[in-house]
Amino acid sequence: MRPAPARRHVLMRLGGAVALAGMAAAAMAQPAARRSARDLQAEAFVEVQAQKVLSVLADRGLSLAQKQQAFRKLIDQIADVPKITNFVLGKYARTITPAQRAKFNTVFRAYAESVYQSRISEFRGETLRVSGSVARAAGDVVVNTLVVGGGRDPIPVSWRVLGSGAAWKIVDVQIRGVWLAITQQQDFVSTIDNAGGDIGVLIAQLQRNTRT
């Protein structure tokens, strides 16, 4: 028995809705799949370059000044320093004056090098192993690694890199669950907010912290 015309109309509408839902689900699944895909080139970049950093900081043949110089040189090669410097200013990157930016670039560079070197120095003499990666978008990848050795459990360290092919740059590092650049942005914006939007207060604070 064929359904009545009204019932057939309802069934057709239901069928169309199911089909549209299926198509929407498929469309949503495709970006998710792309985001979860590994990027072997990004992984290779992190594995080689991050190990270089660990090796420099573990080199007992270098003085502290020599390690700092070597660390700075490596950072210039493997990190996008201008992008990080702009990112940590958050909303104030749009309002900072050229004179303030020149001062901020200098003091933030010294401050960031001190922070990153101190945090990464915790793993000197140990070995880094890539455990996987997640492509957030084209050219935006988080590479997950484990730092092993030192007689302790492996420590997860993640590296966010931007680029493609053999050309990548690090823009953030997650150590013990904390993204350094993101945390710095939150702290910096809060400091400027509390100072009524005066970026000079942050610059002066970073200068004091770098000297101590």
In SS3 terms, 170-188 reads as: EEEEEECCEEHHHHHHHHH
**Residue predicted with more confidence, 154 or 185:** 185
Q: What was the pLDDT predicted at 41?
A: 94
> Rounded to two decimals, what is the model's pTM?
0.78
Q: What is the CATH number of the domain that holds 105?
A: 3.10.450.710
Mean pLDDT of 22-31: 40
d(CA 55, CA 71): 10
d(CA 57, CA 196): 39
In this structure, what token pair is assigned to residue 174?
């997650």
Statement to judge: residues 98 and 161 lie in one domain: yes
Statement to judge: residues 98 and 203 lie in one domain: yes
d(CA 47, CA 145): 8
pLDDT tier, 101 (very low <50, low <70, confident <90, very high otherwise) = very high
Domain that holds residue 15: 1-36
Statement to judge: residues 56 and 153 lie in one domain: yes
**Residue 1, CA atoms < 13 Å, CB-side half-sphere:** 3
Asked if pLDDT for residue 9 goes beyond 70, the answer is: no
Mean pLDDT of 171-197: 96
DSSP state, residue 62: S
Number of domains observed in the structure of the chain: 2
Predicted confidence (pLDDT) per residue in 31-44, tens digit: 444 445 889 999 99
Mean pLDDT of 79-100: 96
Statement to judge: residues 93 and 188 lie in one domain: yes
Asked if pLDDT for residue 5 goes beyond 50, the answer is: no
Backbone φ/ψ region at 159: left (φ over 0), alpha (ψ -120 to 50), beta: beta
Statement to judge: residues 43 and 18 lie in one domain: no
Predicted confidence (pLDDT) per residue in 103-132, tens digit: 999 999 999 988 888 888 777 667 889 999
Asked if pLDDT for residue 61 goes beyond 80, the answer is: yes
